[in-house]
Amino acid sequence: MSAILLITGCAPALQNKDEVTQGNGEEQTAIIPSYQISENFYRTLVPFEEGKARGMIVSNLNTRYDIVEFETGLMRIAQENFSPKTHFFRDGQTLEADVVRSWLRRKYTDAQLAEKEMTAEENLGLNPIDTGEGSVDERNERAPIYLAHIMEQNYLTKKEDNSLQLDGIVIGLALNSVHYYQKEQYGAEYEFTIPDETIEEEGKKIAAQVAARLRTMDKTKNVPVTIALFQQAPKNSVTAGNFIAYTHLDAGKTETNDWKSINEEYVLFPSTAAEEAHRDDATYFLNFKQDMEKYFDNFNGVIGRALYSGGELSSLKIEIPIQFYGKAETIGFTQFVTGLIMDHFPAYVPIEVSITSMSGVEALIVKEANEEEPDVHIYE
């Protein structure tokens, strides 16, 4: 929903637009929406300018949950240094798609470069060398693919002459928690789980190389840069991965020594992990689910995805798929669920409930933190 709000929030602002110029080799007119739907969302330039490496994320990350969290979570981290009050969002325009692809490759030995007919200048891979020595298992455990994807976000400010300048770059490095490989083409897929400490250690090494390369580029050598490490979930996960650390470099700085840890985690309800680590919250969810089942038994299942920040429940998204037989039942069920939400969960927890059927989304309930009345929408 965050991603949807980010985009659709621009629409009503066109009635009171603020036109500016931005330079991408040539002067272009853009519109800054005057209406900001929330202090947690950046205003986005219109028309939306697609990033240079847009589309690659779909094939590089494991799940749609990772894709959404990687992008929106990176925006949360951006707010630590680039305020939504003064900065405007633009999809990454610095790193071209072919540059990102070259950085995502493995590093090659001299012999491998010769075999591939590549020059030393083209040897830009940020993943470890596979020397080819040892068994397939040994090689993949010794040198797994750590870096899965690189995302760039730009943050701009408006100058006195009504032009925009690039005033911040945020780079997300998506790191694998599981390395997948095959022993033969089209063969079975094998897994190697990468230890958490290794993921962070290797991620910080990669970040240092990315920072150094950005400082050699004319467009980015004097721009403040934030680099964040995202640990993506395994392929079979039904929750997103999470950011683990970030570092910020002031304009012209290259060293990535000052890292700040991020204590975030997504937890599935109901699950054994939730019961073991967050017993009280798991009980809230279980009681909520049981009360629904007392009066409505045509469920296909209800699940919740909770985000914990610093060990505290900071948001909860609940999906309720159910078979409806008419609009009256939709209205009645939505009203009933809204009451249960207000009764069963702590007031400080932001909650979003999607009620769906085979036809799509039937209703949406959004309760902000400490709000007495939730927003409820029933789709026609």
| Boundary residue ending a domain (262, 289, 319) | 262
Which residue reads 């409930």 in tokens? 353
Same structural domain, 257 and 272: no
CATH number (domain holding residue 153): 3.10.570.10
Confidence of residue 41 (pLDDT cuts 50, 70, 90): confident
Q: Is the pLDDT of residue 4 over 70?
A: no
- Residue 338 contacts by C-beta under 8 Å, 6 or more apart in sequence? 365, 374, 376
Same structural domain, 282 and 257: no
Residue 337 inside a domain? The answer is yes
Percent of the chain whose pLDDT exceeds 70? 90
Residue 111 inside a domain? The answer is yes
Give the mean pLDDT of 20-37: 61
Higher model confidence: residue 163 or residue 269? 269
Give the mean pLDDT of 127-137: 94
Confidence of residue 40 (pLDDT cuts 50, 70, 90): confident
Same structural domain, 366 and 248: no
Summarize pLDDT for 299-341 with one digit per residue, the tens.
668 999 999 999 999 999 999 998 877 888 889 999 999 999 9
Q: What is the pLDDT of residue 33?
A: 73
SS3 of residue 277 by DSSP: helix
**pTM, 2 dp:** 0.88
Give the mean pLDDT of 201-221: 96
Residue 231 inside a domain? The answer is yes
CA terminus-to-terminus distance, the chain: 19
350-373: b or e for each residue (b if 16 or more CB lie within 10 Å)? bbbbbbbbeeeebbbbbbeeeeee
Residue 91 inside a domain? The answer is yes
Please, are residues 18 and 32 in contact by the beta-carbon 8 Å criterion? yes
Residue 25 inside a domain? The answer is no
Same structural domain, 300 and 245: no
The amino acid occupying position 200 is E
Distance in angstroms (rounded) separating the CA atoms of residues 250 and 47: 29
Q: What is the pLDDT of residue 11?
A: 38
Q: Is the pLDDT of residue 14 over 50?
A: no
Same structural domain, 147 and 279: no
Same structural domain, 208 and 333: no
CATH number (domain holding residue 357): 3.30.300.190
- Residue 25 contacts by C-beta under 8 Å, 6 or more apart in sequence? none
Confidence of residue 24 (pLDDT cuts 50, 70, 90): very low
Same structural domain, 75 and 220: yes
Q: What is the pLDDT of residue 217?
A: 95
Same structural domain, 110 and 255: yes
Same structural domain, 75 and 121: yes
Count of domains forming the chain:
2
| Boundary residue ending a domain (262, 285, 316) | 262
Q: Is the pLDDT of residue 124 over 60?
A: yes
Same structural domain, 239 and 313: no
Name which of 62, 65, 61 is nearest 73 in CA terms: 65
Domain range for 202 is 50-262
Give the mean pLDDT of 23-42: 66
| Boundary residue ending a domain (262, 281, 296) | 262
Same structural domain, 85 and 195: yes
Q: Give the CA distances from residue 141 to residues 111, 130, 144, 279, in Å, rounded to whole numbers and listed in that order.
A: 22, 10, 6, 36
Residue 27 inside a domain? The answer is no
- Evaluated on CA atoms 346, 349, 350, 352, the torsion sign reads negative
Higher model confidence: residue 298 or residue 202? 202
Residue 284 inside a domain? The answer is yes
Percent of the chain whose pLDDT exceeds 90? 73
Strands 351-357 and 312-321: parallel
Same structural domain, 245 and 286: no
Confidence of residue 147 (pLDDT cuts 50, 70, 90): very high
Residue 23 inside a domain? The answer is no
Summarize pLDDT for 239-297 with one digit per residue, the tens.
999 999 999 999 999 999 899 999 999 999 999 999 999 999 999 999 999 998 887 76
